[in-house]
Structure 1
Amino acid sequence: MKVFYNQKCTWVLAMLLIWSSSVFSMDVESQDEEFIVEFYSIPSPDEILTYIHNSEIQFTPRLLNDVRKSDSYNTFRDRLLAYGFYLANLAYSISFEQNHTGLQYFNTVDEMGRQLNIFPPEVEELGHRLMRNMNQMDSLNLIYDELYLLVIANLHDTDRFGEYALISAGGFVESLYLALNSDGSKIHDDGFRMRVWDQKMIMDQLVVMFNRHLNEPVRKAMLNDMEGLIDAFNEFTIETESPKVAGTSNGVITIGGGRATGSTVNSIRRIHEEVNKLRGKWVN
């Protein structure tokens, strides 16, 4: 597995980029309606997976989306979502050092990327490097990271933010699905649940991208599909009791500390259910 600390730092940096990009875009718009700069940085499926499970889950191949289904996605929206699924499956396989499985998913990602015309010329060399480094997992991890960054950078450079949003949505849901359903998943652990809830920042950013960059029929379809998951994340709250005055002594007020309470168990269960439901709808 990759070193969790490094991935967590990357994820946190990505979150900061998301926040700063939104603020920067709004500032520019308020000053000059004709000049809008947009930049999005959604964490990769690998970063989402690693952040949530903290190297605690086990490789569970039955969860992977079958590569033989890659030709069964007919609409452009469905193919972009599927591309996100397969990017997540590739990251999952490589992270667990499953060379043969990883190669299958790389080939699928490569073929679909060419069909979708989202590859820059530099990707050609990545395929050759992959074949030369099949027994070096560190190299495969780096190749995956480079592939993801090249694709996303190309979509940014060509102003294809709608396609980026759909690919990211597919990768986001598939990553949550793998993290929540893999053998060894600590779904009842408080830390695990909170790391799942942290992904709400990504979902909120995806909604912003849908509203800005998708045509109306696709935007409505995406928001309708994700409505249950959005509601589930919004329900995931922790209520904290208000501080209470415990007493006074010599004019000094003593504040009693409130005890954190909440409904995280039921909320994470609904998130889990909605992820599985949405993933089933998109994959099948």
Structure 2
Amino acid sequence: MISIAERHQQIIYKLQNEGKVNVADLCAGLDVSSVTIRKDLKLLEDKGLLFRTHGGATLNNPYTIDRPVNEKEKIQFDEKLQIGAAAAALLQPNDSILIASGTSVLALAKCIKPQESLTVTTSALNVALELLRHPEIEVLQLGGLLRKSSSSVTGPYAESILSDFSFSKLFLGVDGIDLEFGLTTTNVMEAHLNRRMIQVAQKTIVLADSTKFGKRGFGRICGFEDIDHIITDSGISEYIVKELEGMGIKVTIV
């Protein structure tokens, strides 16, 4: 039987390669009981080397917090612009698209340079204001309760308006992507509106920088069966890419 130090080294090595570990997998791989593995994970967490989660552990704090949009915009700024540019390249002439809220979809709005007409419906005030400078773009701003931290609207009024439309693409920003829990945001009302957006769009494209993976927000938006395409940056682990592609999701890395 291997020593405690060797066991801890193998746990950290697996974490660094896969981003997360599962108690059952560790038990099988290291030939010890779940009680032993849970003790190991607690010791490693006490040393600040990992964060324990339900049934396992992760390298990064899995829980997101709500931050003002002007603060979030500075995080992974260059990566978000590259993600936005890749998303903008997917637009077709005379498209009718839906853009949710968040700094990654704001980066998309900054990268849109329409050659022909484009119709954009959005819940985000900052996205609408960014697109107003383009005469080729018709902008429909959803109404509702304004969230000051995200400069976006939520609530039943915004959801009811969506019933009258159908969109070729939804560009969705999220606060967390967890392989077990799905896609999340920090606000429950925003999560509910995002679910309604998915229902009225033919294709859902998620824009998320690599720091969002392995994180969970308070409000669950959906599972991976509702997602068609994820655009992210090169910081994403190969393990997560393989898992997503195994679920039939197209992954674009910028």
Q: Does TM-score exceed 0.5, indicating one fold? A: no
Richer in helix (by share): 1
TM superposition score normalised by structure 2: 0.29
TM-score, length-scaled by structure 1: 0.27
